[in-house]
Structure formats: structure tokens, C-alpha cells
Amino acid sequence: MKSFFLWALALFLGCSVAADNTSKLKWHGKDQAYNRTGTYQPQQYNYTTGFDYVDPLIGTSAGGHVFPGATMPFGMAKAVADVNGENQGGFSSENGNVMGFSHMHDSGTGGSPSLGNFPIWPQSTCHNDDVSQCSLQQFDRAVPSMPGSVKATPGYFALELQTGIKAEMTVTNHTALYRFTFPEVPHPPLKGPLSPLIHVDLADLPGSRSNASVLVDEKTGRIIGNGTFNPSFGIGHYDLHFCADFQGAGVRDTGVWINDRAGSFPKHTQVTPDGVNGNNSPLLAAGAYVRFDAPKGNRQILVRVGMSFISAKQACENAEREIPNFDFKKTLTAAEDAWKEKLDVVKIEPGGVDNDLLKTFWSGIYRTMISPQDYTGENPLWKSKEPYYDSFYCIWDSFRSIHQLLTILDPQSQTLIVRALIDIYRYEGKLPDCRMSLCKGFTQGGSNADTLLVDSWLKGIVDKVDWETGYKAMISDAEEEPLNWSVEGRGGLTSWKSIGYIPIHDFDPYGVGPFTRSISRTVEYAYNDFNIATMAKFTGRNDDYEKYIKRSQNWKNLFKADQRSEIARTDTGFAGFLQPKTANGTWEYQDPLVCSHEANFDGCYLNPTGKETYEGSPWLYTFYVPGDMATLIQTLGGPDTFVKRLDFFHTSKIAYIGDEQFFLPVFLYHYAGRPGLSAFRAHYYIPRLFFAAVNGLPGNDDSGAMGSFAALTMMGIFPNAGQNVYFITPPFFKSVSIKSKVTGKTATIRNINFDTEYDNIYIRNATLNGRPWTNNWISHDFFLEGGVLELTLGPKESQWGTRPQDLPPSLSTGSLGHRSVPKKM
């Protein structure tokens, strides 16, 4: 998903222009004689581990929306300083003022900001020692941070406020721990002795709170409370609870505050939406505070904030269990160790590449493990023994590469995630496509969890997974239209089954949703049906196979062979594009360039005036037949024409790599027998548009989707989601090794003739465990069984991987690939 804002256009153009001059990309390998031969001597090299290269601040400006704060892998607690401005991830590197420190976030999302509930705020003293003269409300208290004071590493975030207070934070799974260090004397204009006040605000980042309640204990200073909030890209509301405890200074007094007034009696307050207006605008600001004596010694006060979706009691229990002694160092070390354990399954031999590339790579992996979030034991909606994960934000973004990367690096977590998805189907009646904060989020196109599930099934994700129910869930997507298909399942199923496409101006009295995106939904539903057909075939459900494989070809029904495309009244030279069609079979017209940067980029969002293709043009969606690329290539005029079209797409302003649908077209050259061009295209985008800086992402990270693209591409194994296929391209490093957590075996991809200038990016030939490997793709067996894939590189395209028998499977060439199942360890 990309954000619904015009700045996306400006940023994209600005970013690509600026980056062009700094790019190290070689457009064509140097025309030098190929004369290097490599002899591999593994003992010669030192491998690097990833932890030190993770920079959580990558993607915190220019629309990346990355959450850079402290989190455990897949953790629920996510602590950071929230700034004003573009704050979808809480913090951003765009010089906003800090307005609070809050404990839960999403990362990289479009839509409105997420979560950021119950921010706390420290002050050194209150003017005239009067609590009501402290800065209580958000707009009043916000201050800049000290330039250069921001520090972020996995599990840790820190900055210094211009009030002289240093704020550090770390987390466990459900609890945030803050360490505030106060100045010796309060900074002007505040006058008076050091007597810190810390208050909690019953608010969230999008300002969605309705009912809320807070209570402060006058002896201990413990503050507990709850609130009702809205999800940031979905329907309904959710309740959240917190429990804040303090350590480091004596409690002087306590109380509650409302608007800009505070008092030490009563100790409890409850707020509801404005009774007069019956709505929430403006939000009534309220909360509770604790005022302290001057902290002794190092002038530090620790604040521990436990979170729970169940109750304040459970929030307190989470905090007491996870951080019993307020030990900051121990908590931080545990978080760091958890990240090291996740990252250590990958080893790379950099081969002399720039540190920035290493940072882009490791940070990309890191960001794919921020969400989805493990809320097991925190789900108030139903009782179940299955795990519960949330913040699938959105599967439309994540099914293409995030879950594939997790399946390779962290199959245990991917297994829990799959079980959680199936359990959501069990209790909600449908698989989610977008889900956050216990609520249903908006669907953007296909029922993409189908693709995610089949991908995992093909790659041996089996442990305690109820695949029978998983299959039923997919059939439900394919067969039963929900009343509200704007938040689950598919719309237009009656037309889909009867005429074989989603018509423009569909007549659909069976459900409600935005009646737009007829072209993109057609190709997406077709591919979802292909995925179901795949699982049907391998499980012997032959009738289902026949039915869904037929429906998987429905994309053909919107292919208009004579449709041409002009840029500035000049024909682009290509014939045949997807076009909208009415239910009675007459064509309508959408310029194949709409909604690309060539024409009306912003015309295809989720609103009633959105066009027939979602966040992309007919040019883009005409490439989307992932299950039968062989037929598509023939339909578009054969491999040569196809390659020209793909080149045109990437080198015009039609392709926009900042949105996830554009990932796969980087590698589609493989199907035209030109795997070298996929490698070339990979270097065309990385590092030009993916680099190690706060503005180093081309679009919303979307829970790590951009990170997973960079990581998989740099590893040389980009997947075709929903199939047991990884496209082979040379890693951006001398070698990459991955140890399977399922089998304990190590898979290594090693470049011979690797050079840091990336002149040698074309595979001359390849061996797997010493024997020739001629397929230009490989299956998940490689990661389960381990081995060494050795790629001999050169500066020019070669014959390797170009023959018909070398290409990845396509329906029309008679294969759906195979399923990889792990042998026991």
C-alpha cells in the first residue's frame, strides 16, 4: 500500500533524481576482456554477523513510515518517541517536535497513524511548583529533540529533549521500559528546584479515542487505565489497557488532569466523547500524573509500562513478570540477544562491498520481523489454544516477499503466523487481508492470504498446522461472497463464476465494497484461484483442481489484443493490454498508463472514484499472470517483444518500485530466458532507490515489505509468491549462507568472480554441490536440504538458464512445480 497523499509523487521524482548522481550502478558491464578466474578458499574469509549493521532509522523520512523504536522480534510492545508531522511509525526523521513516548506502534504503514496509545511525558518541574502550570496537553508540551541525539539500535531507542531530559527506552514482549535522565536544574524558562512530573495522556496517534478511564495510586504512583480506540485502516474499535510503574525517586504527589488543569483529588477520572456534540472532536485531553522528589545520584527515573488488550490487571501482570526489577541493562540485553538469534541464521561474506549495502541488507531483514505482532494470550475476541498474531498490515503488501523471507529465515514464526491466520478464519469466518488492532482492515484486491497459505504449504510449513481448515478457508474466499467484501474475502463472485471476470459497473446485490478495480481484481482473483488449484492438485482434489485451474485463466477475458498505448501521442510500440469490460461483453476504455507516473498517478486509490486498476496502471497489471508466464509471453508477442516491453516498463515512469506489485516484474525476465536481465534490473533499483539513509526507501515500508524486497534481491533468491520457485540471480555479496531452523542444514550461494563494482553480474554457469545446475530457478528443497550453489559470474549475458527447459514452471508448459517437505532433523 502506498499512502493516499500527493506528496508520494513529488517524493518519488525528487528521490530518483537526487539518487541518480550518487548511484554506483553500472548500466553496462565494462567492455573488458573476461580474464579473472576464481578459486574458492572459504577459510580465507571472515563472515559478518548482521546485528551491528542494522540501522532502524532507515525509512523514517520521505514516506517510508518505518517504526524505528525498541521492539522484540514480532513484539507487541514497541516504544518510541512520537513526533508530530508524518508520524505513521510514531517517530520520523523530519524534525517534528516530540510530543510523547508511547508503547505500541505499527511500522511502515500507509493510511492514518496507528496506535501510539497512552503516551507518557516527563518534565523537570512545574512552573511555580503548580501542576496546572506544567505543559499537559499534546500541543502544549511538544518540544524539539537535540540535534544529533537520536540513537536507535535493535531493542533500543534514545534521544534528548531540548528541555535537557534524556529519554532511553527498551522493551520486552508486552512491556516498555523508559529511563529518563533529568538535568541538574530545570532548563529555563522553567524555574524551581528539580521535581519531575511524569504524566500519562489518554490519547493515541490518530486521535481516535472515545471512552477512557484512569486511576493513580497515591502511595506507589502506579497509574492504570484503559481506552477505546479506532484501528487506523479498518472498521470497528478496540479496547486497550496499560499499567505504569515508576522507580528512582520518592512520590511527592499524584492526581489526574483534564484539559489544562490538574489536581491531586480525585485519583480517578473517566472520560467519554463530548456529551454535547456526541463526537470526539476536539478530543478531550485527560490523564493522570505523578510528581516526584528530586531523584538522587544519576538523576534517573525509570518508567515501566505494561500493555494488554485484556485488562489493566493483565497489563500489570505482564509488566511484573517481564521486568520484575526495572533492570534496564538486563532488559536491553535480552532484546538484543533475541535479535541476534533471529539474524544469526544468515551469514554473509561481504567480499569488500560498501558498508551501506550491508546496512541496507541487514536492516531489511530486521524490519520484516517487526510485524506481524504476536498477541498470543492478548486476544479478547475468542478463546483458543492457537497462537494469535495481529498487524497484518496488509497481506496485500506482505504476501509477495515478507512471508517468503520469514519462511526461509524463521520458519517457526511463519508456522505460528499461518496457524493464527487459520484461527482467524475459524472465528471470524474469513481469512484476513488486512488486520490491525484486533479489527478488520480494508481489502485492496485479491484474497491474498490464499497465496500466502499455499506458499507456506508448498515449502513444508506443517508443524501443528490444520491444513484441512486452511484449505476450507481458501475455498470460502473463492466461493462465498461476504456481506462486506471491503474488509474480507472477494466481491463480485457471482460475475466471477458466471462470466469469468469482474466487469466494470458490476451488478452485485450480494455484498458491499468499492465497485472499482475490476481489472486488478480479475487478475488477482485468477491468481488466487491458481494457488488453490495448486494445493488441490497436490492433495488429490481433482475436481477442485479442474475448477480452479480453469478460473485461473480468467485474466484472458480482459485481455484486449489490439489495445495500444501512447505516451505524449507517440505509440509506445506495444499491442495488447488489459482493459475494462462490461458484463455484456462490451469493452470500455482506461488509458493503459493511468495510474502510473505517466498519467494520473493518484487516480487509483481505495475510493469511489478509483479506476479499474489499484495503485497501478493496466501496463502493470498486464504483467500479472504469475502462474502461467509462458502463455502471457506468447500472448504479448513472444520473448523478444516481452523483454522489450518489460524494459520499457522499467525505464519509463510507468514502474514505481515503491509499491509492492512492482517487485515481481523485476524478475520476470527469467521467464523469457533472460535471467541476466533480472540481475541487471536488480542492480538498477538497489542501491539507487534502496539505500542506508533515513530517506532510503522508495515508498511505505509496509511492515517490512520494502526491506524484504531488498534482502531477498541481494541474496539472489527472489520468490514467485505462491509457488515453490526462487529466481536465481547473483547475490550482492561474495557469498550468502542460511542455516535452516527446521533441518539444521546450511544453504550457501557463492559467487565466483565476484567484484564490488558489479561488472560481473551475469551468471556464466552454476553448480549445485559440484554438479551443473542449469535451471534459472531453484526450489525450497535447497534451503531445507542445504548445499552449495556456486555461480560463476561474468560481465556479459551468457547461455546459462536461457533454454526452455531451464525456465521456471508455467501452467502451459505442463508443470506446477513440486512441494518441498522437510525430512526430520
Ligand X SMILES: *[C@@H]1O[C@H](CO)[C@@H](O)[C@H](O)[C@H]1NC(C)=O
Shortest gap between Cβ of 482 and ligand X (angstroms)?
9
Residue from 28, 31, 35, 569 that binds ligand X (CB under 6 A)? 35
Q: Is 683 in the site for ligand X (CB under 6 A)?
A: no
Shortest gap between Cβ of 311 and ligand X (angstroms)?
7
**Among all chains, which residue has been given the C-alpha cell 487478475?**
523
642-681 residues near ligand X, rule: CB under 6 A: none
Number of residues that bind ligand X (CB under 6 A): 33
Question: What is the C-alpha separation between 503 and 579, in angstroms, rounded?
Answer: 10
Residues 6+ apart with CB under 8 A from 727: 667, 670, 675, 678, 717, 718, 719, 720, 776, 777, 808
Interface pattern 585-624 for ligand X (x via CB under 6 A): -x--------------------------------------
Residue from 217, 239, 602, 785 that binds ligand X (CB under 6 A)? 239
Q: Is 825 in the site for ligand X (CB under 6 A)?
A: no
696-715 residues near ligand X, rule: CB under 6 A: none
Q: Is 735 in the site for ligand X (CB under 6 A)?
A: no
Residue from 23, 112, 133, 211 that binds ligand X (CB under 6 A)? 211
| Closest alpha carbon to 234 in 8, 438, 511, 425 | 438
Binding span for ligand X by CB under 6 A among 15-23, 132-140, 153-161, 708-716: 15-23
Residue from 93, 125, 137, 173 that binds ligand X (CB under 6 A)? 173
Binding span for ligand X by CB under 6 A among 200-208, 209-217, 622-630, 638-646: 209-217
Task: Give the SS3 label for residue 543.
Answer: helix
Shortest gap between Cβ of 211 and ligand X (angstroms)?
4
488-547 residues near ligand X, rule: CB under 6 A: 505, 512
Classify residue 262 by burial, with Cβ atoms within 10 Å: 0-12, 13-18, 19+. buried
Question: What is the C-alpha separation between 222 and 220, in angstroms, rounded?
Answer: 5
Binding span for ligand X by CB under 6 A among 245-253, 364-372, 482-490, 722-730: 482-490
Side-chain half-sphere CA neighbours of 646 within 13 A = 30
Q: Is 235 in the site for ligand X (CB under 6 A)?
A: yes
Residue from 342, 734, 764, 819 that binds ligand X (CB under 6 A)? 764
Interface pattern 353-382 for ligand X (x via CB under 6 A): ---------------------x--------
Asked whether the beta carbons of 393 and 436 are under 8 A apart, the reply is: yes
Cis peptide upstream of residue 266 (ω within 30 degrees of 0): yes
What cell does 11 get? 517524493
Between 21 and 281, whose beta carbon lies closer to ligand X?
A: 21
Question: What is the C-alpha separation between 200 and 203, in angstroms, rounded?
Answer: 9
Residue from 23, 132, 162, 582 that binds ligand X (CB under 6 A)? 582
Residue from 765, 774, 812, 813 that binds ligand X (CB under 6 A)? 765
Residue 257: strand pairing partners: 262, 287
Type of residue numbered 653 = K
Interface pattern 37-56 for ligand X (x via CB under 6 A): -------x-x----------
Question: What is the C-alpha separation between 280 and 318, in angstroms, rounded?
Answer: 31
Shortest gap between Cβ of 308 and ligand X (angstroms)?
10
Q: Is 33 in the site for ligand X (CB under 6 A)?
A: yes
Cβ neighbours, 10 Å, residue 469: 13
Shortest gap between Cβ of 496 and ligand X (angstroms)?
18
Distances (CA, A) of 147 to 94, 97, 150, 162, 441: 11, 12, 8, 9, 37
The region, left, alpha or beta by phi > 0 then psi within -120 to 50, assigned to residue 657 is alpha
Task: Give the SS3 label for residue 137.
Answer: coil
**H helices, E strands: number in the chain:** 19, 32
Query: Own/partner pairs for 413-417, CB < 8 Å, 24+ apart?
Result: 413/73, 413/74, 413/369, 414/456, 414/461, 415/456, 415/461, 415/462, 415/463, 415/464, 415/465, 416/374, 416/376, 416/387, 416/389, 417/372, 417/387, 417/389
Interface pattern 60-89 for ligand X (x via CB under 6 A): ------------x-x---------------
In this structure, is the dihedral angle defined by the CA atoms of residues 804, 805, 807 and 811, taken in order, positive or negative? Answer: positive
Between 272 and 542, whose beta carbon lies closer to ligand X?
A: 272
Question: What is the C-alpha separation between 406 and 399, in angstroms, rounded?
Answer: 11
Asked whether the beta carbons of 76 and 174 are under 8 A apart, the reply is: yes
Binding span for ligand X by CB under 6 A among 162-170, 550-558, 582-590, 780-788: 582-590
Between 496 and 663, whose beta carbon lies closer to ligand X?
A: 496
Shortest gap between Cβ of 98 and ligand X (angstroms)?
28
248-287 residues near ligand X, rule: CB under 6 A: 272
Shortest gap between Cβ of 585 and ligand X (angstroms)?
7
Between 484 and 641, whose beta carbon lies closer to ligand X?
A: 484
Asked whether the beta carbons of 172 and 334 are under 8 A apart, the reply is: yes
- Chain centroid offset of residue 211 CA: 30
**Among all chains, which residue has been given the C-alpha cell 535522565?**
181
Residue from 39, 584, 609, 805 that binds ligand X (CB under 6 A)? 584
Shortest gap between Cβ of 402 and ligand X (angstroms)?
16
| Closest alpha carbon to 712 in 478, 371, 454, 361 | 361
Q: Is 775 in the site for ligand X (CB under 6 A)?
A: no
User: In which element (H, E) is residue 227 found?
Assistant: strand 223-229
| Closest alpha carbon to 773 in 741, 811, 747 | 747
Q: Is beta strand 787-794 parallel, antiparallel or unpaired with respect to 746-752?
A: parallel
* Angle of CA points 259, 262, 265, to nearest 5°: 130
Q: Is 744 in the site for ligand X (CB under 6 A)?
A: no
- Chain centroid offset of residue 61 CA: 16
Residue from 23, 132, 210, 813 that binds ligand X (CB under 6 A)? 210
Binding span for ligand X by CB under 6 A among 77-85, 126-134, 157-165, 232-240: 232-240
Q: Is 792 in the site for ligand X (CB under 6 A)?
A: yes
313-352 residues near ligand X, rule: CB under 6 A: none
Residue from 228, 280, 300, 635 that binds ligand X (CB under 6 A)? 228
Between 586 and 815, whose beta carbon lies closer to ligand X?
A: 586
Between 6 and 483, whose beta carbon lies closer to ligand X?
A: 483
Residue from 148, 772, 804, 814 that binds ligand X (CB under 6 A)? 772
Shortest gap between Cβ of 297 and ligand X (angstroms)?
29
Between 221 and 441, whose beta carbon lies closer to ligand X?
A: 441
Between 17 and 276, whose beta carbon lies closer to ligand X?
A: 17
Between 163 and 476, whose beta carbon lies closer to ligand X?
A: 476
Residue from 61, 213, 724, 743 that binds ligand X (CB under 6 A)? 213
Cis peptide upstream of residue 595 (ω within 30 degrees of 0): yes
Shortest gap between Cβ of 629 and ligand X (angstroms)?
26
Binding span for ligand X by CB under 6 A among 242-250, 428-436, 671-679, 760-768: 760-768
Angle formed by the axes of helices 355-367 and 705-715, nearest 10° = 130
Between 183 and 380, whose beta carbon lies closer to ligand X?
A: 380
Binding site for ligand X (CB under 6 A): 17, 20-21, 33, 35, 44, 46, 72, 74, 173, 210-211, 213, 226, 228, 235, 237, 239, 272, 374, 484, 486-487, 505, 512, 582, 584, 586, 764-765, 767, 772, 792
